[in-house]
Chains A and B, each alone.
Chain A
Amino acid sequence: MLATLGRVPTGSALDDKIADRSQNNGRARVVILVLGLSLLILPFALNLLSGQRGVYWLFIIAQFFTLALVAISLDLLMGRTGQISLGHNGFFAVGAYTAAILSVRYDVDIMTAMGAAGVASAIASLVLGVPAARLRGHYLGIVTFGYGIAIDQIALKWDALTGGDQGLHLKAPTVFHVKLGSPISMYFLTLTVLVVAVFLVWNLTRTKIGRSFAAVRDSEIAAAAMGVPIAKTKVMAFVCSAFLAGVAGCLYALLAGFIAPEDFGINQAMLFLAMVVIGGSASLPGAIGGALIVDTVQQAASTVSGLSLTILGGVIVLVTLFFPYGLKGVMGWLLNGTPGQGQSRQHLQLSTNLPAEPRAGGTDS
Chain B
Amino acid sequence: MLTARDIAVRFGGLTAVDGADLDIPDRGIFVLAGPNGAGKTTLFNVFTRICPVERGAIDFDGIDLLRLKGHQIIEHGLARSFQHAELFPSLSVMENVLVGLHSKICVGVVNGAMSLPSTRAREGRARKRAELLLRRLDLWHLRDAAPADLPYGLQKLLDVARALVSEPKLLLMDEPFAGLSEGEAPRLVDVIVEEGKDRAILMIEHHLELVMGIAERVTVMNFGRKIAEGTPATVRADPEVIRCYLGKGGANTVRNQLC
Chain A residues in contact with chain B, CB under 8 A?
1-7, 9, 11, 14, 17-18, 21-22, 200-201, 203-204, 206-212, 214-215, 217-219, 221-230, 236, 239-240, 282, 342, 344-346, 356, 358-365
> A11 vs B145: C-alpha distance in the bound complex, in angstroms?
13
Q: Is the CB of A236 within 8 A of B109?
A: yes
> A16 vs B184: C-alpha distance in the bound complex, in angstroms?
23
* Residue ID in chain A nearest B111 by CB atoms: A207
10 shortest A-B CB distances, which residue pairs?
A364-B41, A5-B151, A358-B51, A227-B103, A222-B86, A207-B112, A218-B88, A200-B113, A203-B115, A227-B74
Mark B74-115 against chain A: 1 for CB-CB distance below 8 A, else 0: 110001101000111111000100111111010111001111
Q: Is the CB of A363 within 8 A of B41?
A: yes
B219 interface residue (CB < 8 Å to A): no
Surface stretch bound by A, among B22-30, B32-40, B227-235, B239-247: B32-40
Which residues on A sit within 8 Å (CB–CB) of B154? 9
Mark B141-169 against chain A: 1 for CB-CB distance below 8 A, else 0: 01011111111111100000011001000
> A143 vs B35: C-alpha distance in the bound complex, in angstroms?
43
Chain B residues in contact with chain A, CB under 8 A?
9, 11, 14, 16-17, 35-42, 45, 48, 50-52, 69-75, 79-80, 82, 86-91, 95, 98-103, 105, 107-109, 112-115, 119, 123, 126, 142, 144-155, 162-163, 166, 174-175, 179-181, 183-184, 186-187, 204, 206, 224
* Residue ID in chain B nearest A362 by CB atoms: B37
CB < 8 Å: which of B11, B70, B90, B126 contacts A217?
A: B90
> A219 vs B115: C-alpha distance in the bound complex, in angstroms?
26
Q: Is the CB of B14 within 8 A of A201?
A: no
Known A-B contacts A212-B99, A365-B206; the reply to A5 vs B152 at CB < 8 A is yes
Which residues on B sit within 8 Å (CB–CB) of A356? 50, 70
Which residues on A sit within 8 Å (CB–CB) of B82? 221-222, 225
Which residues on B sit within 8 Å (CB–CB) of A226? 74, 79, 99-100, 102, 162-163
Which residues on A sit within 8 Å (CB–CB) of B9? 358
Task: State how many angstroms separate the Cβ of A108 from the closest Cβ of chain B.
Answer: 23
Known A-B contacts A7-B183, A219-B86, A345-B89; the reply to A208 vs B105 at CB < 8 A is yes
Q: Is the CB of A228 within 8 A of B99?
A: yes
Which of A4, A225, A344 has the most chain B CB within a 10 Å cutoff?
A: A225
Task: State how many angstroms separate the Cβ of B54 from the closest Cβ of chain A.
Answer: 12
21 contacts between A and B (CB under 8 A): A1-B152, A4-B181, A5-B151, A14-B145, A14-B149, A18-B144, A201-B113, A207-B105, A211-B88, A212-B99, A214-B88, A218-B89, A222-B86, A223-B88, A225-B73, A228-B102, A358-B11, A358-B51, A364-B39, A364-B174, A365-B35
